Structure 1
Amino acid sequence: MSYFVKAQLLGAVMPEIVNWCLDAPSPQTLYSLKELEQGVWFQGWVLSQSVLTVEIFIRRGADYFFWTLDRNRPDVINKVLKTDAHAHPKLTCGFRQLFRLQPGDILGFAVNTRYYEVLQFSIEAEPRPLEGRNGWLFLDNDTNKSIEQYCGALLLSTQQIAAWKSYLTELTMLQKTAFNGKSALLVAPSKELVFPQYYPYAKGEFTVMEQFLALSQQYTNIIFPIEQLQSMPERSFRVTDTHWTYAGAREATVVLAELLLDTATDIRNIFAKDVYAQHKVMGDLGNKLYPPRYADEQVLRNASHKPFLLYDNMLSNFGRVKVIKNDNALNTLHCVIFGSSSVYTMLDFLCRVFGTITFFHTAGNIDKSLISQLAPDIVIAQTNCRFLIRPPSVEYDLRRVITEKLLQLGEPAATELFLSCKKQARGTEHKTVALLQDLLEKAFYHSGFKIE
């Protein structure tokens, strides 16, 4: 996450000051959280009446931090005063100071006994999250136009509805043509649909959600678990994050497994002894504020998919691939998931239901060639409600996506990733891992990279 330092001019009238400038921080400069915590460089200059002494100060509440003018600025004397800087009495008019800035800090000038407040600072991420009630944060200014969707100002077009119908039909047909098993589409609701009481906008009477539910009625393998997530005893979504909690991920797993499995086993019993601990979690919305905002969340402590992880190509977001195998799972079925980031917390529960899981981060887009090669027992497509305006496809080319990701990394980082994955693949004889490592290798060499 990157942040901007913004300054608001306070309009102080300073008869003793001839001119001044703050060169840095610039409103165009991006800072990481680590850089902000280490401090921001303040640099500038102040020209006062010749007999006056000026100090720079930062005021934070009742506390003051002072800096002196201790840097020669011949450029200022030459360009502003239009005179020779050599031995000029105001030559030392500059300052440069590293300072750990906080939102609301005020920069000013102390001229003898007078204090002038000049700039007030804020630290903002782009885009900022939407402030809801009781400290809840929501998406704002996102590419999917979440607010417009919720309010009904943005709807599916005729072409998008047709694309969804085509996708749902082809997803159903894949069961007959590409593998002999079951399939389902899981749509993770946006948290404003599950917790509208915290959202600062009123829901439209007719929205993308209603459009999708209407066109999907003829399909029996679609899960849109709004009611289940609303009626849970535990909170199903995170306060400072767009994603569901571990409890919400567990509920989605239960609903999904009950639809797909012909078993008398109570899926909930598998997770009955799970242990949770309260932690302060920042989340993908809390980190868009400065200081970052945290909220208390119940985090799963006694179970994880990581001990069963055979393979992870470690790409970020789209193109990520994971293979998980648990010999002690409820069944030995191979479940292939074409999903989004909502699946990541679900993996800690799904790995105890299905013996093998192959996860592709594609947000519901399906690479049919992979299904044919893997021949899974179950295929799950998963997307998020806010993505509904972007109908997925069953003509997805995962190798092309991975190739693009490797090119973005650049050859040194891509080579390091490739060799790490190759080492993982050598440690297992699982045929799915071998297939996916071969896919990565083809993408690597297709990128034009070479191993020396």
Structure 2
Amino acid sequence: MNSFSVAERIEGAPELMAEASARLERRDFSDVIALLEPAYDSGVDSLDIVQALMQAYESVGDAAKHEEMMAAALQKSSQPPLKLWIAYAEAAMTRKDWPAAIERWQAIVERHTVFPPQLHIRQARALLAAQQFSAALHVVNLALEKQPGNSVISDLKDVIASQKAKKYQLKGQPIASPIAMHWDADEGQKWVATLEFFRHFRIHGRIETASDQQPVLIAKSSEEVSTLALTVREPSLSTEDLPTGTVVWEFEHALDLARDLVLGVRFEDDGEVHDCVRFSLTPVMEVVEGKEGWLFLANDTNASIDQFIGKKRLGAEEKQQWQRFSAEIGPIQQQRSLLLLIANSKEKVRPEYYPYEKASITPTEQVEKLLQAGKIDYCNPVAAMQAEPDSYYPTDTHWSGRGAYLAFLACMRHFGFDDDFASLYAFEQREVVGDLGSKMDPPAKSLSTVAVFREKSGVSCRFSNYLPGTGNITIFENSRPIHARTLVIFGGSSAGAGGFALLFANVFQRVVVVNLPGSYVHEIVDHEVADHVILQTNERYLATPGRIINTLAEANLDHAVRGVPAAERAKLLQRMNRYASCEPYHDFMTRLLAG
């Protein structure tokens, strides 16, 4: 089409649009497309024409063209409506094009200060589908800040966390080939680990070829084929008796084994690829189903089942570690109001639902004996938990709000408080997924009891470093405390489960929660001038005691930070900086996250 005809179409655009509008009113969508498509293809792409075509394509069910027009409309409009941005992102979700969907949801977040809270849910689902678990957790945490009580978001967080923590076993299957590939992994690497761990799995190996052959290492996945380097081994380094004229080629590469991958060899003379070994991941069973739908942890790194049945007990070295721990914590306990709290394993509280028989001696009994010998004050609230049917619930490893309250009550009584705490809290039941239910397909739900503070709470979050898991530091302050006291909790996941820390925050003036299970940091306790300290550890962690350290720097949190991608660290730093500086935590975490 020549330039004159294009000019004629531009001049005639108002007439075209007038006719197109009439046809749209008559719902003659195919006629609208027949009228406007030639003009658009020839370069007449005004916003009016784009919007008319967008409506027509949507109405006739042409999803690809509809999405193309949405992209054009977003580009041409100076202020595209939020509704259009959302529809554009949803189009990618429908096609399961997760990278595009992630990019589009993020574009909305960056361009709009106000948007429906459900948008974060959709963004997180796209990240989850793309197996970008850390980023997905970041998004749901943002959503929970805006809607703390949203059960849909909480359930989604459990699903994401379970997927992130899901364990896989790596298998390497040789493939019949004229080329023998010998391979091995780095010493010390795990063969059962999370998906994230296998994204950078270091493999080293070798192949043997005739001296006149020029091989190339090929890595093939469903998404791409890449060429990797091979190097010739120096003859002096060979220890094998090789046939004359044989050359040994070596390789060492960090490979993404989170997806099935085939390693092969291609020779430059004929271009044929010889597949040698296929790497694949097999999910490891992480849940065992007991009676009446109760779910329990299985194949965890702490070997929960083996602990329960007595197969795994404390050896001589572990006993010595606990004796040393008792010797260190004993003098501190004489000077401070300090309590070691065991968060019970669910199978200990509800053995009637567990498919295994408990041994008479488990690590718990061994540790209790050592603590008693060291005259250490500790709390194992298993009897109180067993007395309340709803202290734990079927689809989670942790205690419920009722269980958290029972542990809270035991601690407060130990600290010498005789308040009528029962009058302060009401209990409600809510259906939730939980960290075990989220591992099922589809996710399993059950009723969990939630503790609700009856009074008007003055609690607010003073500081958080938002670090996921180990090293997380969160500080609550209460403008309406019942007791002007400061509590420091060194705990694990149970410190947050059932609102355990918040139960104290509703009562005390300041509560500092540090995710270092069963440990003690002198610097933090001294800085806070803590009135009370709780060392909380999960029962399945009892094989190893916590640590008594002087400073926060000695906690080696750089290991926890190193596992967070650089982009996510930047986001954590940005979120943390929303709070007014809270020292020494803010400065410490700024250096750690920026490092």
Classify the TM-score, shorter chain.
0.5 to 0.7
Q: Which moved more, 1:356-365 or 1:163-172?
A: 163-172
Amino acid at match of 2:528: L
Q: 1:299 aligns with which of 432, 450, 454?
A: 450
Deviations along 1:269-296, whole A, 9 cap, x unmatched?
2342533332211111111110011111
Q: 1:209 aligns with which of 350, 364, 378?
A: 364
Number of the residue aligned with 1:14: none
Number of the residue aligned with 1:391: 545
1:319: how far off?
0.7
Number of the residue aligned with 2:5: none
Counting only pairs closer than 5 Å after superposition, residues 68-147 of structure 1 correspond to structure 2 as 126-147=284-305
Give the secondary structure class of the aligned counterpart of 1:379: strand
Q: Which moved more, 1:414-423 or 1:157-166?
A: 414-423
Give the secondary structure class of the aligned counterpart of 2:520: coil
Residue 306 of structure 2 is aligned to residue 154 of structure 1: no
Q: Which moved more, 1:237-246 or 1:405-414?
A: 405-414
Among the aligned pairs, what percent are the same residue? 27
C-alpha spacing 1:287/1:274, structure 2 compared with 1 (3 Å): same
Give the secondary structure class of the aligned counterpart of 1:216: helix
CA–CA distance in structure 2, aligned partners of residues 329 and 357 of structure 1: 11
Give the secondary structure class of the aligned counterpart of 2:299: coil
CA–CA distance in structure 1, aligned partners of residues 390 and 477 of structure 2: 30
C-alpha spacing 1:209/1:181, structure 2 compared with 1 (3 Å): closer
C-alpha spacing 1:306/1:440, structure 2 compared with 1 (3 Å): farther
Q: Say if 1:175 and 1:181, in contact at 8 Å, map to a contact too.
A: yes
Counting only pairs closer than 5 Å after superposition, residues 304-323 of structure 1 correspond to structure 2 as 307-323=459-475
Give the secondary structure class of the aligned counterpart of 1:160: helix
CA–CA distance in structure 2, aligned partners of residues 36 and 333 of structure 1: 42
Number of the residue aligned with 1:276: 427
Number of the residue aligned with 1:334: 486
Q: Say if 1:132 and 1:199, in contact at 8 Å, map to a contact too.
A: yes
Residue 514 of structure 2 is aligned to residue 372 of structure 1: no
Deviations along 1:223-258, whole A, 9 cap, x unmatched?
0111111113x4111211000010000000000111
CA–CA distance in structure 2, aligned partners of residues 196 and 396 of structure 1: 39
1:368: how far off?
2.6
Counting only pairs closer than 5 Å after superposition, residues 116-265 of structure 1 correspond to structure 2 as 126-175=284-333, 181-218=336-373, 219-232=375-388, 234-261=389-416, 263=417, 265=418
TM-score of the pair, normalised by structure 1: 0.65
CA–CA distance in structure 2, aligned partners of residues 259 and 302 of structure 1: 21
CA–CA distance in structure 2, aligned partners of residues 407 and 255 of structure 1: 37
Q: Which moved more, 1:162-171 or 1:200-209?
A: 162-171
Deviations along 1:73-107, whole A, 9 cap, x unmatched?
xxxxxxxxxxxxxxxxxxxxxxxxxxxxxxxxxxx
TM-score of the pair, normalised by structure 2: 0.50
CA–CA distance in structure 2, aligned partners of residues 131 and 186 of structure 1: 28
Amino acid at match of 2:505: C
CA–CA distance in structure 2, aligned partners of residues 423 and 296 of structure 1: 35
Counting only pairs closer than 5 Å after superposition, residues 43-62 of structure 1 correspond to structure 2 as none
Amino acid at match of 2:590: E
C-alpha spacing 1:153/1:306, structure 2 compared with 1 (3 Å): farther
Number of the residue aligned with 1:411: 566
Number of the residue aligned with 1:19: none
Q: Which runs of 5+ in 2 are unaligned?
A: 1-122, 131-281
1:441: how far off?
2.0
1:199: how far off?
0.5
1:213: how far off?
1.7
Number of the residue aligned with 2:185: none
CA–CA distance in structure 1, aligned partners of residues 428 and 571 of structure 2: 36
1:371: how far off?
2.5
Give the secondary structure class of the aligned counterpart of 1:424: coil
Give the secondary structure class of the aligned counterpart of 2:536: strand
Q: Which moved more, 1:433-442 or 1:238-247?
A: 433-442
Larger radius of gyration: 2
C-alpha spacing 1:175/1:149, structure 2 compared with 1 (3 Å): closer
Q: Say if 1:278 and 1:298, in contact at 8 Å, map to a contact too.
A: yes
1:354: how far off?
2.2
Amino acid at match of 2:436: L
CA–CA distance in structure 2, aligned partners of residues 170 and 35 of structure 1: 48
Q: Say if 1:365 and 1:396, in contact at 8 Å, map to a contact too.
A: no
Number of the residue aligned with 1:436: 585
Deviations along 1:348-369, whole A, 9 cap, x unmatched?
2111232211110011122233
User: As a proportion of its length, which structure holds more helix?
Assistant: 2
Residue 423 of structure 2 is aligned to residue 285 of structure 1: no
C-alpha spacing 1:403/1:306, structure 2 compared with 1 (3 Å): farther
Q: Say if 1:127 and 1:142, in contact at 8 Å, map to a contact too.
A: no
Amino acid at match of 1:211: Q
Q: Which runs of 5+ in 1 are unaligned?
A: 1-31, 40-123, 427-432, 448-452
**Cα RMSD after superposing both structures:** 2.9
C-alpha spacing 1:38/1:364, structure 2 compared with 1 (3 Å): closer
CA–CA distance in structure 2, aligned partners of residues 358 and 147 of structure 1: 33
Amino acid at match of 2:285: P
1:125: how far off?
5.7
Q: Say if 2:524 and 2:551, in contact at 8 Å, map to a contact too.
A: no
